[in-house]
């Protein structure tokens, strides 16, 4: 069992396979020229498996693979296949571009839920956000997952003046499709030029949805990051991840392992622990894991507590989102 000083047991591990991505979304990547981590500094396949085994042996029940874009890694299929043999729930967050070619591997590994990042339903806006003309490919791959009875959650980062006018378009998508739309409050990270006036809050999102739909709350699970809702007559549902205005830190059970083998005990933590170097020296990494989680702050890495409108994003000590792994 891996626990922190506040009694929170951590049984959910997010592993970033790479900081590389075939998209260039501004809210995730720094605007300046970005140098991806050299392959030699990334966790190798066998290292990912070894570290995952340590976590699983100490109570981890769920592993999520993230990036960058995890499926652009050349040995992604090998990693997914190996992790699929562990006694955990294995899930993945992806931009959806490589789903069709990777589908047999994903199914063989027992993946039953996939999160797809999609911030707009408009092809032109999709190109503006991602700098890639693959909107229809992503939509087609979502349909493919549904055909194969794989649960789909669509992650949409809501940004004022950019895509907040599409909230109810996403809700309408759930009418005849068994998907969950997850509206995410825009969060500050290194290089993404976050300001509070770009953020669209939980209350604002609900206000927009309730103008056109009847909204009913859904009782969540103890460790849910999202507040869930349903609309009568809709096959799908929606949820809101309100990290900035109504965080879920009290029941947090998540740990993050970056692609270069650093353990972060919070998405917003200003420190991290190098597990990869210790592993390569044949040192026992479990004490490092336990000490890192024990030192976890009570909320939001100790950096974002208080009124979000007063947050100065330039003072936050953290990585960019793409190097953390979401």
The binding site for [4Fe-4S] cluster comprises: 21, 25, 28, 249, 252, 266
CB atoms within 10 A of CB 262: 21
> Are 15 and 63 within 8 A, CB to CB?
yes
List beta partners, residue 38: none
Binding residues: 14, 21, 25, 27-28, 64, 68, 93, 117, 153, 187, 249, 252, 254-256, 266
Report which of 160, 15, 27, 143 is spatially closest to residue 79, judged by C-alpha positions: 15
Give the three-class secondary structure for 128: helix
CA distances from 179 to 151, 152, 236 (A): 7, 5, 5
CA distances from 206 to 130, 166, 167, 323 (A): 26, 13, 10, 31
Where is 278: in which H helix or E strand?
helix 275-280
Q: Please state the length of the chain.
A: 326
First to last CA, the chain: 23
What is the CA 190 to chain-centroid distance, rounded?
A: 16
Q: How far apart are CA 12 and CA 151, in angstroms?
A: 19
Binding residues for S-adenosyl-L-methionine: 27, 68, 117, 187
Report which of 322, 16, 21 is spatially closest to residue 192, judged by C-alpha positions: 322
Q: How far apart are CA 88 and CA 103, in angstroms?
A: 19
Binding residues for GTP: 14, 64, 93, 153, 254-256
């Amino acid at each position: 069992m891996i626990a922190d000083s506040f009694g929170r047991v951590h049984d959910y591990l997010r592993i970033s396979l790479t900081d590389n991505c075939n998209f260039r979304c501004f809210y995730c990547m720094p605007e300046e020229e970005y140098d991806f981590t050299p392959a030699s500094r990334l966790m190798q396949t066998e290292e990912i498996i070894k570290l995952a085994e340590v976590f699983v042996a100490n109570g981890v029940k769920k592993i999520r693979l993230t990036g960058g874009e995890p499926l652009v890694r050349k040995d992604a299929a090998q990693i997914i296949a190996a992790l699929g043999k562990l006694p955990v729930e294995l899930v993945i967050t992806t931009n959806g571009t490589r789903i069709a070619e990777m589908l047999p591997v994903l199914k063989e590994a027992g993946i039953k839920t996939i999160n797809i990042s999609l911030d707009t339903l408009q092809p032109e806006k999709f190109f503006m956000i991602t700098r890639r003309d693959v909107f229809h490919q992503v939509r087609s791959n979502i349909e493919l997952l549904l055909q194969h009875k794989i649960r789909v959650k669509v992650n949409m980062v809501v940004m004022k003046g950019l895509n907040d006018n599409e909230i109810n378009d996403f809700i309408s998508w759930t009418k005849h499709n068994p998907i969950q739309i997850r509206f995410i409050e825009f969060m500050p990270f290194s290089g993404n030029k976050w300001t509070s006036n770009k953020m669209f809050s939980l209350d604002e999102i609900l206000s927009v949805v309730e103008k056109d739909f009847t909204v009913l709350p859904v009782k969540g699970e103890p460790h849910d990051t999202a507040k869930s809702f349903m609309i009568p007559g809709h096959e799908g549902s929606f949820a809101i991840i309100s990290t900035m205005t109504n965080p879920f830190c009290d029941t947090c059970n998540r740990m993050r392992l970056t692609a270069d083998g650093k353990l972060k005990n919070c998405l917003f933590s200003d420190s991290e622990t190098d597990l990869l170097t210790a592993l390569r020296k044949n040192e026992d990494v479990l004490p490092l894991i336990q000490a890192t989680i024990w030192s976890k702050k009570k909320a939001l890495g100790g950096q974002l507590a208080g009124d979000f409108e007063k947050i100065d994003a330039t003072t936050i000590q953290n990585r960019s989102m793409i190097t953390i792994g979401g």
